Structure 1
């Protein structure tokens, strides 16, 4: 085997009840769709043989040093607690130390059933694999913490979903770790004190070596999550399944299922077909993450010697989180309108613009991008609604040194628009991966004007509007 992956695995040394060791289920005829060579270089992975790449990242060959396992975890799904979830269609191949000295997981997603599959087939079909590849790489280019896509391969097999038979595929995902709020919930729900302590110690050593005690860990996770959710909202991103098992302790965006980016702005925008009541709508994400952190706090309480005191301290941390999110949100949206350090008074100016955008069905991404070009009013059904706001905004900008420069790097020209993602998937199912490659190329530089790709910045025509997105499991 020519491929070299410099594995240095640690999770496998945790107690056996943390995971199940197993190998991937081989597939019929794997072929490479895309191999992320620059990311592979960061991870120290060397290989130039496309056949071997396909075999390894389909799970047909196990590279030296790999120790594949499926992780156990629990989680609240749409508010209901499931005491056992786990990797139902994924395997952690192992860990590597990247070129920046950071430990990162390499995981196969769609590699076959595990003991945690809950009657599922453990497979993935092509659409969700390509969606996660494109959107996670776009999120990275947008500057938001996220898992990455290392490889996508087709399997040569058919996966059956509600829509019938679909082409199978496997994604190789890279993450700082796959530790989740639900991982802590798994051991807390079982009253497994030793397991909870081992998980805490591992998490601190891997992600937060500076923390001193569970309260400090909770505060650090809250801080990262507050910044992440504000970042999502600043680019119009809607995760779609903010369950506690999809909330990473590292503060990365993880598990791109029915995710989507807004076109026309409305705070209660929902795309996910499984979110019938809008629990994870765009504007609700800031509330849900607080609820998720409360679940993490609850899981950490048993680690404290004085649990009554811990409940009081943890509650204070969780209750302070909305103000942290508001601060991060104000900072992110302040930059979007050219204000380097937005104040509480600026929040009203930002909120006024968003309200006018909602009333006028203004495109979220294009409106902010057009602010410094002088064409933002064209995004409004009633341009006068923008004119009224613009007068106040221009007056505020007189106090800023470089508002255009601030806006240029805070407002992307390109996002993975839902209709383009759907068109890309439809083409790929027919064997045409050119739209997939084009999206990856353009979205790698989202803050740059790319006139030749102006069609990818266009909002959908009425016939192209995507009403719902789907999980794919």
Structure 2
């Protein structure tokens, strides 16, 4: 029996548009371009409920036009955001060329989240592009972003994917789709570069004040609020990148327009998780020189933050030389902050409750052993967490045995029980990540056969990454040896 959904007005929308109160330098009014035959293929009921939306009203065939932009939810004030960015080190002006911000959903507890349609058609920033998105990349973003959320890593999230009934060309015809993306905001380092590039100090100040109020309210009472904002943003990014490194995640396209000031992971294009550990791992088909390789993610983050600091110079101090001095001092804090966040996370992965001076060296020795042996990043840590080193043959390696002896001696010097150590390790070492071969299997079934069952099964497994039961599932198994190097594409 079919159920008639409540109207859009009854779906729980509580949209506001505070971003539109910023100077018009930062956006243009634009509406999504209608599509021929919208159909919802994935809907995130749990996220809808967190947002205060009525899932039954939106998880219904009649609601698909709302999830592609054919209809607008109550209270929407659609716009395309303007921003710039350094792409592979080269500055360019950008903007939302295939996305529309509908507004900010205010939750019942007062939270505020951007609701954006990605793949919603041309805007004034499309730069000869069609403004559309292919189904495969939108499904990939849904899968990876929800996996990151389940891992406890700050991230934008995905409310829905809806097909459009129209083809896009990349370069061959592919089914089109629209992703409904949810974010703490879509303010980027590139947004500040856009303001600085226009030389509009008051617009820059308005953007900084808005961003501080929305994401860093603690800086309001600081003696130098803009410097405090820069320092807080640096520390938040250091913490985020450390979390990426701890699960072997490679973003793939760390341009400044893909660094969100909220501290969330944003834009899942050529991203993937490492299998065999290699710090030089690159998955992006266009990153020929490894600019965004796994090992380069911390220094690239610092480079991006230097671009933020440059944009903020007019606000840091009236004297330019003093502004540069303050910015440089703030940036120097990034590497120590990253190392602190990294070591804290690695202590958790290795079952350490206490701090000892040699912990960093112990971690480094283990990582170096993994590099030399090309050990599977996720499986190796999970094996340690389950005390299965012998069962997996790790103890046959003399260098591993030597490290293992040092590690067990280190654990013996803390008061916690062996059970507490194992529990800590299992809570920090996922059994399931979005294994590249499983992601591709699911995407292929969806795109080529319109079979979404593999995607849904994968999402169910990824929602429980630390469960013991998941450790024995097909989704915890590395790919067969001898496969071709894995490549991903940006989808534009």
Of 342, 362, 369, the residue aligned with 2:382 is: 369
Call closer, same or farther: CA 1:464–1:54 in 2, change over 3 Å: farther
Call closer, same or farther: CA 1:141–1:452 in 2, change over 3 Å: closer
State the SS of the aligned residue for 1:409.
Answer: helix
Give the deviation of 1:120 after TM superposition.
1.1
Q: Deviation string for 1:379-428 (max 9, x for gaps)?
A: 75963332121111111110231321210100000000111111111000
Q: Is 1:27 the counterpart of 2:40 in the alignment? A: no
Of 399, 406, 415, the residue aligned with 2:413 is: 399
Question: What's the counterpart of residue 297 of structure 1?
Answer: 309
Q: Is 1:172 the counterpart of 2:150 in the alignment? A: no
Question: What's the counterpart of residue 330 of structure 2?
Answer: 317
Give the deviation of 1:373 after TM superposition.
2.2
CA RMSD for the aligned pairs? 1.6
Call closer, same or farther: CA 1:219–1:138 in 2, change over 3 Å: same
Q: Is 1:440 the counterpart of 2:453 in the alignment? A: no
Give the deviation of 1:99 after TM superposition.
3.9
State the SS of the aligned residue for 1:92.
Answer: strand
TM-score, structure 2 normalization: 0.93
Question: What's the counterpart of residue 79 of structure 1?
Answer: 89
State the SS of the aligned residue for 1:171.
Answer: strand
Of 388, 392, 402, the residue aligned with 1:388 is: 402
Q: Distance in 1 between matches of 2:101 and 2:484?
A: 36
- Gapped regions of structure 2 (runs ≥ 5): 1-6
Q: Distance in 1 between matches of 2:74 and 2:322?
A: 48
Question: What's the counterpart of residue 158 of structure 1?
Answer: 167
Question: What's the counterpart of residue 11 of structure 1?
Answer: 19
Question: What's the counterpart of residue 244 of structure 1?
Answer: 256
Question: What's the counterpart of residue 461 of structure 1?
Answer: 480
Q: Deviation string for 1:172-226 (max 9, x for gaps)?
A: 0000000000000001011111210110111111111221321100010011101
Call closer, same or farther: CA 1:451–1:183 in 2, change over 3 Å: closer
State the SS of the aligned residue for 1:91.
Answer: strand
Of 427, 430, 441, the residue aligned with 2:445 is: 427
Instruction: Give runs of aligned pairs for residues 133-144 of structure 1, distance below 5 A.
Output: 133-144=142-153
State the SS of the aligned residue for 1:196.
Answer: helix
Give the deviation of 1:344 after TM superposition.
4.3
Call closer, same or farther: CA 1:241–1:131 in 2, change over 3 Å: same
Q: Which moved more, 1:235-244 or 1:33-42?
A: 33-42
Residues 45 and 55 in structure 2, CA contact (< 8 A), matched pair in contact too: no
Q: Distance in 2 between matches of 1:454 and 1:363?
A: 16
Residues 431 and 466 in structure 2, CA contact (< 8 A), matched pair in contact too: yes
Give the deviation of 1:63 after TM superposition.
1.4
Of 424, 434, 458, the residue aligned with 1:416 is: 434
- How many residues of Structure 1 are paired with residues of Structure 2 in the alignment? 471
Of 276, 280, 288, the residue aligned with 1:276 is: 288
TM-score, structure 1 normalization: 0.97
Q: Deviation string for 1:7-27 (max 9, x for gaps)?
A: 122011222221011110011
Question: What's the counterpart of residue 51 of structure 1?
Answer: 61
Question: What's the counterpart of residue 340 of structure 1?
Answer: 353
Give the deviation of 1:465 after TM superposition.
5.1
Residues 151 and 171 in structure 1, CA contact (< 8 A), matched pair in contact too: yes
- Gapped regions of structure 1 (runs ≥ 5): none
Of 85, 92, 104, the residue aligned with 1:95 is: 104
State the SS of the aligned residue for 2:437.
Answer: helix
Q: Is 1:149 the counterpart of 2:168 in the alignment? A: no
Residues 119 and 133 in structure 2, CA contact (< 8 A), matched pair in contact too: yes
Q: Deviation string for 1:144-182 (max 9, x for gaps)?
A: 1000101111111111012x1111111000000000000
Call closer, same or farther: CA 1:283–1:342 in 2, change over 3 Å: farther
Residues 181 and 249 in structure 1, CA contact (< 8 A), matched pair in contact too: yes
Call closer, same or farther: CA 1:232–1:384 in 2, change over 3 Å: same
Q: Distance in 1 between matches of 2:322 and 2:27?
A: 32
Residues 432 and 470 in structure 2, CA contact (< 8 A), matched pair in contact too: no
Q: Deviation string for 1:31-76 (max 9, x for gaps)?
A: 1111111111121222524123211011110111000100000011
Of 364, 377, 383, the residue aligned with 1:351 is: 364
